[in-house]
Each structure stands twice: as structure tokens, then as C-alpha cells.
Structure 1
């Protein structure tokens, strides 16, 4: 299946622009600079762009539903990177490829876009002590199945009382 990022970009940024349609100039200085970039990108889309993106989202969701019907669940990492610097909007690059405000989450955004039931659960820590998440995706409208799978995983790998070491900049433990 094709990457739905162009569709998500239009819908996400135009939705953020819609939230601030009437107050952006008044609140701009209070907002995170990365959010401002997304809002300003959203103000640039035309109605025909948004209409196209809405239709594409429906087509993509239909294809994704059909593809996933053969599986009880699809498992993936939640993100392709571990935590990055606090205050950063995205990691900057992954394996040498530049990232944007959304494309650094390629495992989650297809399901956020389509409404496919998905959940992220703690799966452990890297050697440097950074958290790693497991995403569990279910069939269309099987939200309960996804919640049950997440619960089963958490029972097998309890994490509530696990505390990682404090990690300093550069990924070293203290």
C-alpha cells in the first residue's frame, strides 16, 4: 500500500489551522514554534486539497481494512526511534533521512488517519534506559480485541513498577 503521509499532512495541518482560524494572530506568541509551522502550513491549503484528502482517506481506510482482515493483530514498534531531546518537535533525521512534524511516526499515522483500532503499550527499555513501545493494531472496529491484547501483553510483561534509570543527554544513565 502507498504511504498515506500526503493525505495526513493536509488533514492534520488544516485541522490545526481550523482550531486557530479566529485567534492565531492573538495566540501565536504563546504557541510552540513547531505548532506554528503546522498551522501556517494548514492555512495554505485550498478547499479542493482538503476535499481530495478526505476522499483519499476514505479510499485508504477501505484498502487498509481489507488488508488487515486476514490478521487478528499486527504488531510493530510504536516509533522507529527512541526518545529524542525534550523540546524538539521531531528527531531531525532517521537513518540519514530528514524528518518532519509527522513523518517520524510512520508506524502509527496510518491507523490514526483511518481510525483503525490501535494501542501502544510499554515493551521495555533500550540498553541506554530509554522506553520502547509496542503498537498493537486490530481489525476494523475490534477495539475490544485490541484492548484485550494490550491487557494480555501487560500481564505477561508487567511494567507498572519498573523504573528506568535517569538518562542524561546523550543517552547515558545516572
Structure 2
């Protein structure tokens, strides 16, 4: 079956180590540069999200802003507090609630959840190098692009084909 949807999962860029609270941690200088690289790369891949679900933490909001600016997107993000402390099931519930008219859904969240979610969704049919890289870890600024051949409500373990896995780094 051809892809019905595209799902992009991103771990926020590198954040400062300390702030008044974990949710208030902003991006480190390296993180700001890496987020811009991620946006440029996503634009090169021809990806524009119809819907962007972003954790309410400062570092994820800033990651979104820099990626969107670098990619030239005008998508208005949906900042969702549930993504801050989410587990994989919570994110799957958010994905399942996505309207079928949405072709491309982007999620920016936190590890270990987003890395575990990406591994959980992978059906193993993507490029071997990308699949191998995915299981080695999910560092800051990791970006995974999946093709989804089922309705959003049926997205679950092994239901997504990995198309790209990259870790955005400014040189």
C-alpha cells in the first residue's frame, strides 16, 4: 500500500544544563545552530508539516521556532503540555487523534520517549543504514521521517516505514 501519511519525530536540540526548572531550560548555542540545520535539511527533503505537535518546554518551543524559520514553514504549532512528560502511549494517542486530512504530522518531544517511539513504530523495511542508526541512539536534534500506510488512528508498533533518520549537526 502506498503511504497515506508522513510522520516526522524530532528530539529537541541541545539545551542548557540548568534553569529555574527543567521545563524552562533553553537551547544552548550549539542547539540553536543544530536546529537551524535540521530545518534546512527538512526543507531539502521537501517536508512541510500540516500539523506540528510541540511540547510546552522552552527547549522544544525554541527548537520548533528555529526549525520552522530555517525550513520556511508557516505552520502554526500546537503546543501540548501532554508531550512534556509523555510516554509512548500518550504520543500514540495524540497521533491517533489526528484528522485524516493531515498528510504530514510533526512531533517534537523529549527522550527517552521520542527515541523509543521511533524504534517502536519502525517496521524494519526502511534503508538498512537508517534502521541501524536509529537503534544506536536518539541524540539531540535527531530527526526521523516515516511513511505511514494506515489511518492515523491505527498507527502503532511496526506500522511505519523509516524513510530517513538524521542527526542535525552544525559543523
Normalising by structure 2, we get a TM-score of 0.26
Which of the pair has more CA radius of gyration?
A: 1
Greater share of helix: 1
